[in-house]
Structure 1
């Protein structure tokens, strides 16, 4: 009998730990990842020959980054993992996973599938956000980690969540001029959530220490009004303080983001059902405790539960354990990981309550504000589409093109659902979720034409 073929999508913390667990059981998984080098977003690696050490790139997380990178590199060097870098899974068929990469397109047949697709920035539209020079917090961080570049000369960072503080701290460490850090989360909500966040006291204290480093640049409970722009991009951000006082921060670059949004398109194509999470204000896949969607398909990491890098490592091991058990092979003991998972979830729920999605801000967007940057759909057009076709997300997409652009709704879907719900007098859970469609990533026709065969 030949060993089953196991495909892992994603080489971040979840995918790496899943691969390690399967290799320990005597299997040789195939790992497909969009990055040139393994590590995922949180431990993104610079190109070969880059001279900045991990301590500079990852700060206190450098030992974890080194460990994960070392584990995966060793498995690949020993031939115990087949690694396909700079490659993306576009969808699935009965033949397998359709993958495109440097060698063209190919279909990878597999018996078991582990999706460790991670998360992307969760964005809320602000008037002016469609201008050049407005980036997500994740993109700002990628420039720092991958190329050692601080985008812009005078930067305003805005949004909410731990990534806002982390990116500001990292940019200051890189020598950037950070004019203001504008957090829409009220300070009262952050204080109220501290007991839950002290489920991980060391991490909570580290976050508070980073926040203190920001000093008077940091402002909580703000109201964002507009990113003022000219032909070159941002020139200032208009906002109001928690007390209602109008402010204007000069800048030439804006970074924005409201925590994370689970990357779930491939899970949807693999047959996942979704529940709307009131805590996270987004749709999340439904699985069992180990990440089992069904025997043969498993989810792990932030694409399933938004628990951060440590949680992703735990989830990767659990998904691999479920995979092994379903194949009738010896699986590692999971009790300790399940207990740790519960603690990580308490912490994550505290974060979600401390840094809530700015629903009221989104619902009050003026009609002229752009909601979908790819297609240029405004809030007014979206509201008019609801009047014409009803308050169903997919109906609004069909009639008004929201979510039809390059990002396939990754940046605009959550805000669009909020606006649809507000205009129709319902809630986002009733609006529904955009259907997943292949290809889940933009792909060049030439790449599809260059067939690398099946494997």
Structure 2
């Protein structure tokens, strides 16, 4: 029987597994979480008492439906699920996987990557301080543990996740001091028109959530620095839309500028990449069905940042492409393609509404920590760019940017912006950091004890 490996058990991975299982194949689904659902529909531990409506709000029905679907497939033996396992390398049709029991090798004939996305982060002076998190981290703590990361929290960045996390925290009873958006009202109005044309109901729901924030929300904010003292107190210093300095005392800051596609495994699997002007990041190339190479299929936010609704459809499509290539009949492909095209229009309009704040990156002082893993400052990077020129990997070899445990996930985009600015070239010409195994930190035992699964 053809061996189909699916990496990721979020909305895209679950729908891909459903399509493959319906065709009579039994896919292996590897996921880093203890329970399927992905980041957007992250599930709390067994026995957790908070209701789905509290955890997921308006998306509770969708979340519960996906959870039940996946659990039923696993119970029926249609899917082999490997929770709390991480694929850290791919080579010659074999996935190298680490889990609690050590390492193992999983051969595959077809690979569907549904790796999702992570927070896209802009360095802010002082972000290395205790009490500073990403929006995703704040959301994980709320969903998985039922806790807020502070009693007086400032949320900063841009994109729908900023509003969503703020509303979720307030609904859970957390103290939100301010919601600071670096995008302007002008950008948001321009983008919202395209969003409303593509998905009017979703756009209206987002506007209602924004309205619920009231005076907590501030647009066109410029984040200056995060200050802390020896007592653990924090203050976020900013300039408002009129350029006036403002201080917001708090005990926690959560930041994020929409999302960054998780692409390391796609890189190792041989996908080609192209710079997206809409999303200001490198994205893997795939056809409308998700084909990215022989036996390689990409699903969900790991190839296009479109959100959970699109991820479900964009999980089914790559699975259908895989089945078509294996000679299995599939149905409904045309309708799914049209739906994803509409969702793609919505996503591009959303990117225009909440743009990557390149001017803020350009203005960073030299002392700002850019790479928290290696302690590399913005000044270090600028000096390395003067020596290495406009090529990210050459600059990395000189200045160690992106050589830490996250492999550039949280600093590469800002680094490319700074390199391009320093040498006077377009950002795409700075290139991207090459993916390197292991894509996640793994115990040495996982490398020594790997056995074929």
TM-score by length of 1: 0.98
CA drift of 1:234 comes to 5.3
Partner of 2:341: 342
What is the distance in 2 between the residues matched to 1:98 and 1:66? 31
2:377 equivalent to 1:387: no
Structure 1 segments of 4+ aligned residues over 3 angstroms from their partners: 231-234
Paired residues, number = 452
Partner of 1:417: 416
Partner of 1:166: 164
Partner of 2:367: 368
Q: 2:139 aligns with which of 141, 145, 155?
A: 141
Q: 1:48 aligns with which of 15, 34, 46?
A: 46
What is the distance in 2 between the residues matched to 1:149 and 1:98? 34
CA drift of 1:295 comes to 3.2
What is the distance in 1 between the residues matched to 2:246 and 2:155? 14
SS in structure 1 at match of 2:289: coil
| Cα deviations by residue, 1:308-364 (Å, 9 ceiling, x for unpaired) | 001110111100000001011112220110110111011101110000000000011
Partner of 1:441: 440
What is the distance in 2 between the residues matched to 1:296 and 1:230? 54
What is the distance in 2 between the residues matched to 1:140 and 1:450? 35
Q: 1:186 aligns with which of 184, 187, 190?
A: 184
What is the distance in 2 between the residues matched to 1:435 and 1:195? 37
Question: Which one is further off, 426-435 or 231-240?
Answer: 231-240
What is the distance in 1 between the residues matched to 2:414 and 2:187? 22
2:61 equivalent to 1:58: no
Partner of 2:428: 429
CA drift of 1:94 comes to 1.9
What is the distance in 2 between the residues matched to 1:450 and 1:141? 35
Partner of 1:268: 267
TM-score by length of 2: 0.98
CA-based RMSD of the aligned residues comes to 0.9
2:305 equivalent to 1:306: yes
2:291 equivalent to 1:292: yes
Instruction: Kindly indicate whether the alpha-carbon contact (under 8 Å) linking 2:104 and 2:446 is maintained by their aligned counterparts in 1.
Output: no
Instruction: Kindly indicate whether the alpha-carbon contact (under 8 Å) linking 1:95 and 1:107 is maintained by their aligned counterparts in 2.
Output: no
SS in structure 2 at match of 1:443: coil
What is the distance in 1 between the residues matched to 2:233 and 2:5? 43
Gaps of 5+ in 2: none
What is the distance in 2 between the residues matched to 1:7 and 1:283? 24
Instruction: Kindly indicate whether the alpha-carbon contact (under 8 Å) linking 1:13 and 1:312 is maintained by their aligned counterparts in 2.
Output: yes
Structure 1 residues 65 and 195 mapped into 2: Cα distance closer, same or farther (>3 Å)?
A: same
Gaps of 5+ in 1: none
Structure 1 residues 95 and 300 mapped into 2: Cα distance closer, same or farther (>3 Å)?
A: closer
Instruction: Kindly indicate whether the alpha-carbon contact (under 8 Å) linking 2:270 and 2:293 is maintained by their aligned counterparts in 1.
Output: no
CA drift of 1:232 comes to 5.3
SS in structure 1 at match of 2:21: helix
